[in-house]
Amino acid sequence: MCKALIIGAGGVGTVVTQKIAADPVFTDVMLASRTKSKCDAVAAAIGGGRVKTAQVDADSVAELCELFRAFQPDIVVNVALPYQDLTIMDACLECGCNYLDTANYEPKDEAHFEYSWQWAYQDRFKAAGLTAILGCGFDPGVTAIFTAYAAKHHFDEIHYLDIVDCNAGNHGMAFATNFNPEINIREVTQKGRYFENGKWVVTEPHQIHRPLNYPGIGERESYVIYHEELESLVKNYPTIKRARFWMTFGQEYLTHLRVIQNIGMARIDPIIYNGVEIVPIQFLKAVLPDPKSLGANYHGQTSIGCRIRGIKDGKERTYYIYNNCDHETAFKETGTQAVSFTTGVPAALGASMWARGLWRGAGVFNVEEFDPDPFLAELGPQGLPWHELFDTDIEV
């Protein structure tokens, strides 16, 4: 039996807490964030006194350790901000807690993310006999587990990997982001990057794009951006010759994004306004709709998966493994939209994999390093059914 502490009470934290609270392997559950009232609202919705709540500043190792020592969690599920990954990992090491997150670390003062900062914790987690599981959302997360499943069951060598992410939903807002606006805008405005023939190729933002067809949705314009799971997948599957990540954006979204950049509201460096230091993108976050509020009016679905080419038994084959998630269905179950649901369900399931001893080890691990089978066996029943297409036109 296991005690779980979740940090972060946004849309993803709401889903994680609901799923973990419903899982009998967890004897005690706590939700903590900077704003305790948000945690209290989630706990009240679940009911039954199942979820304890607490206030914590995840930027402070001292505050985190005080909470960890009081609650004594076996595993800490980090769905706070990526800036806070390292402080939470430091606190886990100091207090003897295992760790899981959904997004890799990025510094506050630079729009840049990579796994090197967290991979550097390998020796310390190994020496402490603790497990750190990185990137257990959907992308990163399920996309890497899909790749591991393909490598285990359907390919002798994976040569070409294209991860495709389509959100064909409509929330009715002129402009809104599907998760934390500060993180979302930083991510999608960076230069593109993909892996080919042993090196990384850098492109201008949204330079490479083409229409792709998504099951149950149809054709959507898709853009190559950089996404963190590419970094670990090309490391763990060295036969890969090319790996790319595609995401769909509507023209209206891109127009708003371009205006935000052009007028300086995407800046992450501080400015002085009326004698007060502010960061423009953080101010923008404050005036944009809360992603958690979008679910009530969200219609349509997401489609995320992996399109793979490679060799099996000496013959070339193609393979497409994917999930479609309906925004309205996600909202009915959890009160959140599909982007929060598709991230939160895998995080809770990954924590359950650890709690039941199915994903264990001393050190720092990306999810594709574990057995994909028990995870994928339960992903569908948890609300994210997946589908396979063999030897079809994968378009990329």
Identify the helix (H) or strand (E) that includes residue 109. none
pTM beyond 0.85: the answer is yes
Per-residue pLDDT of the chain (396 residues; tens, 9 = 90+): 799 999 999 999 999 999 999 999 999 999 999 999 999 999 999 999 999 999 999 999 999 999 999 999 999 999 999 999 999 999 999 999 999 999 999 887 676 778 999 999 999 999 999 999 999 999 999 999 999 999 999 999 999 999 999 999 888 887 888 767 777 787 778 899 999 999 999 999 999 999 999 999 999 999 999 999 999 999 999 999 999 999 998 888 878 878 888 888 888 889 999 998 998 888 988 888 887 788 788 999 999 999 999 999 999 999 999 999 999 999 999 999 999 999 999 999 999 999 999 999 999 999 999 999 999 999 999 999 999 999 999 999
| Amino acid letter, 373 | D
Cβ(125)–Cβ(364) below 8 Å:
yes
Other beta carbons within 10 angstroms of residue 117's beta carbon come to: 15
Q: Which of 302, 310, 113 is nearest to 193 (CA)?
A: 113
Angle between helix 372-379 and helix 142-153 axes, rounded to 10 deg:
120
Cα separation, 290 vs 276, whole angstroms:
24
Q: Give the alpha-carbon dihedral of 12, 349, 361, 133, to 10 degrees.
A: -20
9: Cβ contacts below 8 Å, ≥ 6 apart: 17, 31, 32, 33, 35, 38, 39, 41, 42
